Every structure is written in structure tokens, then in C-alpha cells.
Amino acid sequence: MQTLLLASLLGCLAAVSAAPATNVRWCVTSAKELEKCAALAAAAPVFSCVRKTSALTCIEAIKADQADAVTLDGGDIYIAGLNNNGLQPIIAEDYGISASDTCYYGVAVVKKGTTFGLRDLQGTKSCHTGLNKSAGWNIPIGTLVSMGLIQWEGIEDEAVVKAVGKYFSASCVPGATRGSNLCQLCRGDCSKSHTEPYYDYSGAFQCLKDGAGDVAFVKHLTVPESEKANYELLCKDNTRAPIDDYEKCHLARAPAHAVVSRKDQQLAGLIWNSLTSVQGFDLFSSEAYAPGKNLMFKDSTVKLVQLPPNTDSFLYLGAGYTSIIRSLKKEPTGTQSTAIKWCAVGHAETVKCDTWNGNSGDADPQVECETAPTVEECLKKIMRKEADAMAVDGGQVYTAGKCGLVPAMVEQYDADQCGIPGAKASSYYAVAVVKKSSGLTWKTLKGKRSCHTGVGRTAGWNVPMGQIHKETNDCDFTKFFISGCAPGSDPTSPFCTQCVGSGKTADDSKCKASAEENYYGYNGALRCLVEDSGDVAFIKHSTILDNTAGKRRTRTGPHLNCECVILYKTITFLLLFFVKVNNDEYQLICPGKSPVPVTDYLSCHLAAVPAHAVVTRPDSRNEVVRILMEQQAAFGATVSDAAFSLFKSEAGKNLLFKDSTKCLQVVEAGTSYESFLGPEYMNVMSSLRECTETTPGLEKSCSFHSCQETN
């Protein structure tokens, strides 16, 4: 009987969990907002309304599955995305200033006729949209702190609100502690909701208009057209400008307000479809609910834009805006490590990084290790300051650049160029290799099987697929190749069918973009061809030359009549395949030419591409360069008796750095990813990026904003 009851209960629970949501519960924070929401629900019954007291309580309600959606500003999006809340932005407001403008300017507005500048605000009275809100708090206070105008040493000294309270003589900051100096100018209860008349953009502007405050921190669209002549903007150079000159005179740009929900793609789809199918109701007008303004959505919104899937709060807000928020949450720094955190992809790289860490400093290691399953996840860690640097190929430099990271050092493969100031940076050639016996040419590739180093990588994907796209103008590459191995592809894609994983029992690494997949990387793609899992391998020119039988014997000891060597590392068996080839059995193919020997890559290649580079955040660039220069002096290619070698991989191939690296060279400070990659490669990427379905998800999220700013 108990078994029957348990089975019934589990069946009910499964039915409940499997049932898709059919109703969107919108969270509102005021009587007027509830009135508008009720009118929306009458026009579109898929909506219902849940009233809470503030944005924070709405976040809590959505987390607890008591509501489904709310529109928040950047500061609250940051809070919603913290691990303890776990919400994500799914839809952005678009203000339509340009073709697509999902951002706005944070500005400081004052009455015309007053004479003070931004640097003269101490002792004045201030009006804010709300505590922790973007234009009204995070941007202005972060700016004043970073400019040294508000003296604040961090939370170990005092709370930032206390420092602000000392700086302004009086303020209205809805959401601040009632009875404090920051609530002195407010007309209502100083709550972060529409029950406070001076809350939000219109409220902060009304605070200034009423003469309660001397300056209002709002967004650039706040001042009504009919009143612009009476007000001015404060610029960071201490000058003033007309209200409409916000593009030149602003404190910072911020991501637009966004609809936030739980991490549930099915629910996100329901919310999007429900909002975009509303008929006979103006989502972006609060006129019928006066004196309420910006109810549910900002009145200045022109349309809504669906965000790329899996966009989290950090990716939406961007590194620049997030750094502003973090500047207002200073943590004690006395116990923080001075080491740089290197990001390793997969187990084999982590093993090498741990060895590096153990040798990188006598008392205090200069290098610490972070790990992630993919390069994309590593780049996210660097953006979030959970890691500091890693070496990536050109395609990944492109994605990293779109996300605000910069190239700091570049691998040099010519020992004669090491140590020479201004030496020419290394490059290599992307080539297509086939078996001579196949009789394949570039013209006859269609319908064959392909071997790639990884999706998004330069020689293995971007260059050949960019070339194919130019010729076919078709982004569906499965129409060109019938199958293949392109690690990082969707597991159900034909580009995963030829992948083999690690060869271990219960293997889950098949087609993963890491060294755990035996067909990953240059050697992996070549091995895919050698083992007849593909008809063409897209690799760099030196890969096949590095894998001749003679050279490989010098790396692995006595010649073995097999293509593998088994190494025992601690308690783990690592199966390493060393590809052994005969140059005469392979050849290069390229557009407009007959096949040529593999040594003739200068005359037959798909593109010359830049060397791999170390990427990091702009603020970490100098420290990363300093430590890497010290580390290669101790463990570089010219150091023969070191306990660790930076550019050798004992447990794999090309781990952390390419094994052919002779040294790391400094990339001049201020070099952008575009100038580093060069016009030829940027043109290839521009063509390939027309195929949005092959654009990495991280790059889509980073490229979403026209206003994405980096730190």
C-alpha cells in the first residue's frame, strides 16, 4: 500500500513539474502600477498581478515562484542575479534613439542659472531615483568616488551611504534608512517605491523642480521637452552643457531596464510571446494612470528586445557597469593574494597549471589556478574577476575582445625574434590537409567529412568556414559537409558524429571543446584524419610537419609500432595519442589550385592568421605582463634545468600554451583586439559572423548592447 501511495505521489509531482506555465504573474510595487497591470490582465488574460512593496521583495517573490516577472533597472538586475537569488534578465527595453538602443545615459541635471560644477557638489542637496538604482545612485556615486570627490576607503572604514550623507548636506534617496540625512528631502515615506513622490526618474526630477534639491541624478530622457530650456547637464570636466548634449556630457552609459525572471527557458518564452502578442493595450504609456509614470515599463520605451538565451545578469550589465557597482562594495584588501589566476580548460591543463603554481614562487606563488570546462567559461571567469588570464587562439581573441578583454602578450614561435624590442609578431597559416590517396581537391570537398580543431577556433573553424560561406553564401554548413568532428558543436549536430571523446568507459567528453576530446585541437583534428574519421583536416601548417615519425620519436622515446603511449600519472591513466604520419601520404588543398605537398604551405593556404595571445581585463594587463615576464625568465624555452617548463606539455599537447612557443612577447598597451587580429582576419570574421547560429553564445551576449562598456 505504501509503495502504491509513493508511486502515486511521485507521479503527481512529476506531472506538476512537467506542466508548463500558462499564466504570467507580473510583480508590481504601487497602487498605480497595480491599476495598469489589472488593465493589462483584462486585455490579455494570460497576465495576472502580484503586488509587493519594492523591487527587492519582487525579486524574492519570483525566486520563491510566487511571481514570474518584473522590470528592473541595472542595480536591481545585479542584485537579482546574485547566486542567492539566481534570476536572469530575459527581455530588454529599447529606447529607439538609434537603430537599436538598449541602453541609456546617466546624467546630472541642474537648474540653469546656478553656477556650480560636478566638482563643486559637496555641501549641496541631491535628488536620487533610489538607493542602488543605476542612474540615480550607482553611476553618480560610483563616479564621485572614482574621481576622489567623495572620500571613501571601503566598507571596512564605513558604509558608503554614510560617506554620501557626509558629502551632501541633505538628500532624497528612496530606499535609504528613514530619519537619516539621505531621506531628509523626501516628501513621503522614503521607500523605494511609488509611495514616495520623489522616487524614480520623474520623482527625482520633481525633487529638483520643487527646489528641494540642487542636482538630480537621472537618465538622459527624463527632462520633458517643454522644460529643457530651464535645465543643464553637469559634465565630468566641470563644465555644463544643454540637456540634449548628453552624448558628450554624461556620467556613464548603463544597460536598459530589463524584464527579469527565473532561469527557465520555457517560462521566458511564454513571457516574451505574451508581451509581444498583446493587442489593444499600450505597454509603454502610463498616461491613463496619472500621476503615475514609468509603470511596469519605462514610458520612453519604443519596443522590447529578446535577449540571447542564457544571458545572465553579469553579461547583460557588462564589465564596465558591473565595475561601477563593485566600486561601491569595496572589500578589505589586506588578505587578498597578489598572484594572477590562470584559467585552465579541462583536467590535463589543470594538472599542468597546478605544477606551475607549485613552482611559481618560493613563499608566495605568483600564479594560482582556476579551471573551467571550456574556453568560453574561462573567459566568463576572467570577465567576472574570478580569473585573470589565459592564452587563446585568434577566434577566441575575437570573442574575448567583444567581451571587453584585451590581448596582453602573444606567443612567438621564432626564437630569433625573442628579446628583440618591436620584433615582428608570429603568425601561422591555416591549411586544409587531405590524404593523397583520396584524390580530393577544394572543388570536390562538398559532401565529405571534416575534422576541425574546435568551433570558433581560427585555423580549424573560422578561416575554412568563412571561406566556404563566401563561396556558398549559405550558413548551414551541414549542407556542405555530411558529418565531422568540430568540438564545441551541439551534441546532436552532424559535426559531433565523428568525435570520439576520451576513450574512457562511461565517457561524457565526446565533442567537448577541451583536451578530454581526443579529436580536439590541432593534433586532434589531424588524428581524426589519420584514423579515417574525416576526409579533410583544418589545422595550422606546422601541425603535420611536427608529427612526422622522426620528430615524434624524439619526444616520446623509442619508436613504437602503434599510435599511442600510455602514461601513468598519480592514480590516473591518461591515454595520449601521438599521431605518426608520413608527409608523402598527405597534401594541402586550397581554392583555385591543385593539391600541393604539405611543405608548400606558403603557396597553398587558406589564410595567414595571428599567433595565440594571452587575454585579460584592461585593469589587469600590466600585472599579468609583469608576472608572465618573470615566469618565462624562470621557466621559458631557454631555461634547460628548470623544474617546470612553461612551453612543454608532458601530459598532453599544447596545454596552456602551444608547445612550439619560444617566448611570450608584450603586446603594446592600448592595442585593441581588432588591430591585433589585423584587417585580413577581421574580414574573415565579418563574413562568418553573418552566420549568427555559429556565433558563440558568450559573444552574442557581449555584443548585444550598443552601449556595452568595458572596464
At 247-293, the pLDDT tens digits run: 899 998 888 899 999 999 999 999 999 999 999 999 999 999 988 88
Measured CA to CA, the distance from residue 195 to residue 203 in angstroms comes to: 11
pLDDT of the residue at 574: 32
pLDDT of the residue at 686: 84
Measured CA to CA, the distance from residue 173 to residue 151 in angstroms comes to: 19
Structure-block grid coordinates of residue 479 = 549542407
652 has a pLDDT exceeding 70 = yes
CB-based burial label for 97 (10 Å; 0-12, 13-18, 19+): middle
DSSP secondary structure letter of residue 178: T
Q: How confident is the model at residue 81 (pLDDT cuts 50, 70, 90)?
A: very high
Measured CA to CA, the distance from residue 465 to residue 583 in angstroms comes to: 25
pLDDT of the residue at 309: 85
Which helix (H) or strand (E) segment holds residue 682: the answer is helix 673-688
Structure-block grid coordinates of residue 406 = 584585451
pLDDT of the residue at 292: 87
pLDDT of the residue at 705: 63
Considering only CA atoms, give the Rg of the chain: 29
Which helix (H) or strand (E) segment holds residue 589: the answer is strand 586-589
567 has a pLDDT exceeding 50 = no
Amino acid in position 32 = K
Per-residue pLDDT, averaged over 140-167, amounts to 86
Structure-block grid coordinates of residue 456 = 570558433
For 330, list phi and psi in degrees, rounded to 5. -55, 130
Is the Cα dihedral 161, 167, 169, 172 positive or negative?
negative
Measured CA to CA, the distance from residue 413 to residue 426 in angstroms comes to: 6
The least confident of 104-108, 325-329, 430-434, 575-579 is: 575-579
CA angle 329, 333, 338 (to 5 degrees): 125
**167: number of Cβ within 10 Å:** 21
Measured CA to CA, the distance from residue 361 to residue 370 in angstroms comes to: 17
DSSP secondary structure letter of residue 513: S
Per-residue pLDDT, averaged over 121-149, amounts to 93
pLDDT of the residue at 195: 86
Give the three-class secondary structure for 140. helix
Q: How confident is the model at residue 330 (pLDDT cuts 50, 70, 90)?
A: low
Per-position DSSP letters for 251-298, written without gaps between them: SEEEEPPEEEEES-HHHHHHHHHHHHT--S--TT--GGGTT--S-SS-
Q: Which residues contact 216 (CB under 8 A, 6 or more apart)?
A: 108, 109, 110, 126, 127, 128, 204, 205, 207, 208, 222
> Long-range pairs for 325-330 at CB < 8 Å and ≥24 separation?
325/75, 325/78, 325/138, 325/142, 327/142, 327/145, 327/146, 328/138, 328/141, 328/142, 328/145, 328/160, 329/155, 329/160, 330/152, 330/153, 330/154, 330/155
CA angle 395, 398, 400 (to 5 degrees): 110
The pTM of this model reads 0.70
pLDDT of the residue at 210: 97
Query: Averaging pLDDT over each range in 155-159, 332-336, 337-341, 578-582, which range is the top one?
Result: 337-341
Amino acid in position 82 = L
DSSP secondary structure letter of residue 136: I
pLDDT of the residue at 318: 79
Give the three-class secondary structure for 109. strand
Structure-block grid coordinates of residue 595 = 593539391
Q: How confident is the model at residue 10 (pLDDT cuts 50, 70, 90)?
A: very low
CA-CA-CA-CA torsion for 650, 387, 364, 361, nearest 10 degrees? 30
pLDDT of the residue at 550: 42
Is the Cα dihedral 635, 637, 642, 648 positive or negative?
positive
**534: number of Cβ within 10 Å:** 25
CA 187 from chain centre, in angstroms, equals: 41
First to last CA, the chain: 63
The least confident of 28-42, 252-266, 304-318 is: 304-318
Measured CA to CA, the distance from residue 390 to residue 242 in angstroms comes to: 45
pLDDT of the residue at 6: 45
Per the listing, cell 513621503 goes with 188
Residue range 535-545, pLDDT digits in tens: 999 999 989 88
CA 45 from chain centre, in angstroms, equals: 37
Is residue 131 within 8 A of residue 315, CB to CB? The reply is no
Beta-sheet strands, E only, within 323-466: 340-345, 367-372, 389-392, 406-412, 427-435, 449-452
Beta-sheet strands, E only, within 331-405: 340-345, 367-372, 389-392
Measured CA to CA, the distance from residue 57 to residue 28 in angstroms comes to: 10
What are the strands of the beta sheet with 258-262, ordered from one edge? 70-72, 258-262, 87-94, 303-306
DSSP secondary structure letter of residue 138: I
pLDDT of the residue at 579: 53
**69: number of Cβ within 10 Å:** 27
Residue 491 CA neighbour count, 13 Å, CB half: 6
Give the three-class secondary structure for 79. helix
Per-residue pLDDT, averaged over 53-76, amounts to 95
For residue 591, is the peptide bond before it cis, meaning its omega torsion is within 30 degrees of 0?
A: no
